[in-house]
Structure 1
Amino acid sequence: MSADTNLDIAALDKAHALHPWTHFESFSRDGALVIERGDGCSLWDSDGREYLDAVGGLWCTNIGLGRREMADAIAAQAEKLAFCNTFVDMTNGPAALLSAKLAELAPGDLNHVHFTTGGSTAIDSAYRMVAYYQSCAGRTDKTHVIARNSSYHGSTFATISIGKRAGDKMPEFDYKTDGIHHISAPDCYRAISDRSEAEFCDDLVAEFEAKIEEVGPDKVGGFFAEPIQASGGVVVPPEGYLKRMAEVCRKHDILFIADEVVTGFGRLGHWFASWDEFGVQPDIICCAKGLSSGYQPIGATIFSDQIWDAMQGDRWYASGFTYAGHPVACAAALKNIEIIERENLLHHAAQVGRYFEERLSVLEALPLAGDVRGRKLMMCVESVADKVTKALLPDHLDVGKRISDAAEARGLMVRPMGHLNVMSPPLVITQSQVDFVAETLEHAIVEVTDQLVKDGQKVG
C-alpha cells in the first residue's frame, strides 16, 4: 500500500497501531512518519522527501537497503520451502548451513547455535541457558545473573529486567528483580573526575567482585555485558575492563555472555567485537540485527563446547521458538554474510568508521556538546547544559528530540534518546556521506543551541 493508493497510511497507523516505546500524548498529537522506500543509506517518506539514515534502521541495516540479490534469495527460499519447524529432530538446509557458518565466524570454541527470532529472544535464551548449564554441571544454585546500569538487553519480561536503562522501567509495568543484580556502567565520561581511567577500571572490577561476594559465588551463574553499551549511551569501557571482568567470571564459574546484538556483523569492523576489538573470549555470544541486516527477523545464541558438553545426556532442552531456524530468515542471513565477505565490508567499516570518529570529534567544540564518543560506526553526541560540571538540560526541553527534528528537516536521521543523539549508519556509508552527517548535525545542534539561548536557557 503506497501513497498513491488513496489510503491514508498515517491515519490508519494512528488509529490502529501500538508502536514499541509509544509516548501516547505526543503520538496522539503527531502520529508517525511514513517511510515508503529505501536504498543504500537513504530513506524516502510518503511525500517523496529523502533522508540519509544515520540510525541504520535500528542499528541493523548493515549492508544497506534495496539489495536485489537479498530480495531474490528471500523469494527463492520462500518458493522452495517457506517454513519448516526445527523442533526436536527436524531441520532445513539454510538453518544447518547458517549454524555452521556462525560457528566458523565466532571466536574460540563457540561452535553451537540456538536460533531465535531476534535480539531480545537471543538474550532471553541465554538467560535460560545460564541456569540450565549450571544445573547440568551440578551447580543448581547458580541461577542469579549480574548486568550493568545503563544497559539494554531486550524487551521480553526477562531481558527488560536484566537491562537497566533510564526510561525503560515504567511504573505501569512489573519487572523481575529476584535473582537479577546490577553494577555500575563503565561510563568514563560521567565517572572519571579526579581518578585516572586505570583507577576507574580497578574500581569497576572491585565492585563486580564485591557484588559476587554479596550475592554469593555459589549463586551467581552469568554476567551479561554489551562490549559497548549501545542504547544506554554508546558507553565505551576503559582499557582492559572487559578482559578483567571475564577473568573474574572464570574464577567463579560464571558464564560471560556478550550481548553483540549491536556490535556483531561489522559495526566495529569485525564479525564479533568481543575478541577482535576487546580480546575477550565469551562463553555465549548473542546476535541479531546485522545477522540479516534487517532483511528478515532472526537472532542467534552462539555458545561454547563446554556448555554443549555439559548439557548432554538423558534430558530435554525445553526452550525454543516456532520461527527458530526459519528457512527464509536463515537464507537471508547467509546471503547477507556472503555480501559482507564479497564486498569486504568489514574492512570498509573499519576504515570509514575511523573517519566517522574523526569528523564527529569536531562537534565537541560546540557549547551544547558535552561528549562525542563511540567507536567506528557506533557513535553518540551527549548534550549538556554545562561542559564543566556535565550538568544535563531539564528533561522537559527534550534536547535530543529537538536536535533530531532539526537534522531531519535538513534530510538527516539521527536517533534521539533523552539528551543523546545516537548514530549507527549502514556499513556501506561513504566518506562523502559521513561529511554530510557531520556537517548537517553541526547545523542542527547550532540551531537548537541558538533557540535554547533565545528562550533563556544557559548553555556552555
Structure 2
Amino acid sequence: MTISGSNSLIDADLSTVLHPYTNARAHEKSGPLVIERGEGIHVYDTAGKQYIEALAGLWSVAVGFDEPRLVDAAARQMAKLPYYHIFSHKAHEPSVRLAEKLVEMTPANLTRVFFTSSGSEANDTVVKMVWYMNNALGRPEKKKFLARDKAYHGITIASGSLTGLPNNHRDFDLPAIPVRHLTCPHFYRFGLPDETEAEFTARLVAEAERTILEEGPETIAAFIGEPLMAAGGVMPPPQGYWQGIEALCRKYGILLVADEVINGFGRLGSSFGSVHYGFTPDIMVTSKQLTSSYMPLAAIIFSEAIYQAIADNTARIGTFGHGFTASGHPVATAVGLENLAIIEERDLIGNAARMGAILQHELKALADHPLVGEVRGAGLIAGIELVADKTNRTPLSPTGKAGAIAFAAGHETGLIVRAIGDTIALCPPLIIDEAQIHDLVARLKTTINLTETRLKA
C-alpha cells in the first residue's frame, strides 16, 4: 500500500512494517493514519488534519509534541557525546545527574538507580534483580511474583508474564515465569452484588493473603502493581487497597514494586502514584513521562537494602551480568534531565492536579449518557466505560465493538483516544489548559454520540 498525502512517503510501501497491537491483515487493507507533525497537545496527519492527542501518544508526552528545549538538549548532547556506555566502571555526566535527580524526587527509601530503554526492559530487569538478590541471600526458593488480572507491565518474556491481559499471553506461551494473578481491583466491574467498596477491598486483601499462604511466604519474592491500573482500562484502586497490600508485604517479607511507568511524574496530579495513594514501594519503575518519550528511557529506583545485597554478590562472583547497550544513554538521559526540569519549572504536576479536577468534573456529566456505565480516573487520566445496560452494568456484546467504533469516530471528530475493550481511555499531555479540556470533552461527546448512532444502525 502506498500513500500520496506527503512528498516524503510517495510510493512508500506502508505495509512493510509489522505494527504492534495491530491486526496485520486488516492493516494491509486499511493502511495507517500517518502523523506528520506535532504542536502542543495536537498532532497533524499528512493531509493537515488536526487531532487532540488525548492519550499523549502512548500515555507519555508530558510537555507536548514540539518542546524546543528537549530538541536542543538532544542536539547539544549529540554534538558533545552522542553515545557512550556505562559498563565496566565507565560513566558520563547526563546519566549521573539524572540518577541523582531521580533519587531526589522519589521517596527517601529509594537510593539507587538502574537505567534501561523501556518499561518492559525495566520490569524484566526487576525480575532478574530480585532473583539475583534472593540467590545471593541464600533464598533460592523465593522467586514467585504476585500481580493482578488486567495489569500491564510490559511485553518481554518476564514482564509479559507479569502482565495480566489475555492477548499479551495468547499464543506467546506466557506466563513463562512463576507468577500468580490476583483479582483486578476494580470495584465497578468486579465488586459483588450488594458488596460495599470497603468489603471489596477487604476481600481482595484476604485473597492476596490466602494466596501468599497457599504458595508459601518463603517462595514469594515480590508483589508488583500499577498504583492506578492504566492500560487494562484506567482503574483507580478501591479505598484502602494499597495500605492493605503494603501491610501484607511487610508482614511476610515480600518486596513491593510500584510500576509507575504511566502514573509517574505527575499524571495523577501527584509526583508519583504511590505518593498519591499513600504507600511506600521497595522498587519503583519509571519511563514514558521521564523523557516525554522524546527519547526511549526507563529507570528503576530501588532501596539501599536491595542494592547492598546485589553489590555484595557482584563482589563474590565478579560482576552483575546484566545490562543493555543503551543503558543510561547520554542523549536519552540528557533529555530526561531537561524534561524533568520543565515539569518542575512550569509546575506541570500542579497543572495536572488543577486541570485534572476540571477534566474529571466535565467527564462526570457524561455519566447521564445512555451508553456510559462508569466515568473513572484521577488527575489527567480517565476512562469512560461503555455498557449495554447502565442499571445492571451489562457489558456490550461483542466486547470491543463499541470501543472500535468510538476509536474510529474520534478520528473523524479530531480526537485520538485509546479503546480498551469498550472503555475509552484519555491521558492528555500535562500542559493542557482549561480551554483545551473543554474542546477535548466536546469532541468526546460528539464521538460518543456517533458511536451510539452507529451501534443502532
Segments of 5+ residues of structure 2 without an aligned counterpart are: none
Question: Following the alignment from structure 1 to structure 2, what is the Cα–Cα distance between the partners of residues 420 and 435?
Answer: 20
Taking the TM superposition and a 5 Å limit, the aligned residue runs for 1:39-58 are 39-58=39-58
Distance 2:8 2:139 in 1: 62
Q: Does 1:349 align with 2:348?
A: no
What is the TM-score when the length of structure 2 is the normalising length? Answer: 0.96
**Aligned equivalent of 2:422:** 419
The code of the aligned residue for 1:294 comes to: S
Query: 1:386, 1:167 → 2: CA distance?
Result: 26
CA distance in 1, matches of 2:89, 2:206: 45
* 8 Å Cα contact 1:2/1:36 also seen in 2: no
1:101-250 equivalence runs, <5 A: 101-171=101-171, 173-192=172-191, 193-250=193-250
Deviation at 1:447, TM superposition (A): 1.8
* Matched-pair contact (CA < 8 Å) for 2:6–2:46: no
User: Percent of aligned pairs with the same residue?
Assistant: 38
The number of equivalent residue pairs is 450
1:281 — aligned with what? 280
Give the secondary-structure state (helix, strand or coil) at the position aligned to 1:131: helix
Corresponding residue number in structure 2 for 1:265: 265
Check if 1:383 corresponds to 2:382.
no
SS of 2:167's equivalent in the other structure is: coil
Q: Partners in 2 of 1:153 and 1:6 — Cα distance?
A: 36
SS of the residue 1:384 aligns to = strand
Q: Which residue of 2 aligns with 1:441?
A: 444
1:4 CA drift (Å): 4.5
- The answer on whether the counterparts of 2:169 and 2:175 sit within 8 Å (CA) in structure 1 is no
TM-score, normalised relative to structure 1:
0.95
The residue aligned with 1:458 is none
C-alpha contact 2:269 2:378 (8 A) present in aligned 1:
no
The correspondence of residues 332-347 of structure 1 with structure 2, limited to 5 A, is 332-347=335-350
Offset of residue 25 of structure 1 = 2.6
How far apart are residue 134 of structure 1 and its match? 2.0
How far apart are residue 405 of structure 1 and its match?
1.5
Counterpart residue identity of residue 61, structure 2: T
Aligned partner letter, 1:334: L
Query: Which stretches of structure 1, 4 residues or longer, exceed 6 Å deviation after superposition?
Result: none
Provide the rounded CA distance (Å) in 2 between the counterparts of 1:57 and 1:64: 10
* Residue identity matched to 1:353: G
- DSSP-derived class of the 1:12 partner: coil
After superposition, residues 271-420 of structure 1 pair within 5 angstroms as 271-275=271-275, 277-313=276-312, 314=315, 315=317, 316-395=319-398, 398-420=401-423
Amino acid at match of 1:160: G
**1:8 corresponding residue in structure 2:** 10
**Taking structure 1 as reference, are residues 6 and 135 closer, same or farther at Cα in structure 2, changes over 3 Å only?**
closer
Report the AA paired with residue 294 of structure 2: Y
Quote the offset at 1:2 in angstroms: 10
Paired residues of 2:399 and 2:421 also in contact (CA < 8 A): no
CA distance in 1, matches of 2:414, 2:404: 15
CA distance 1:354–1:382, shift in 2 (3 Å): same
How has the CA–CA distance of structure 1 residues 88 and 391 changed in structure 2, closer, same or farther, with 3 Å as cutoff?
same
Give the SS at the match of 2:274.
helix
Call closer, same or farther: CA 1:303–1:2 in 2, change over 3 Å: farther
CA distance in 1, matches of 2:76, 2:243: 43
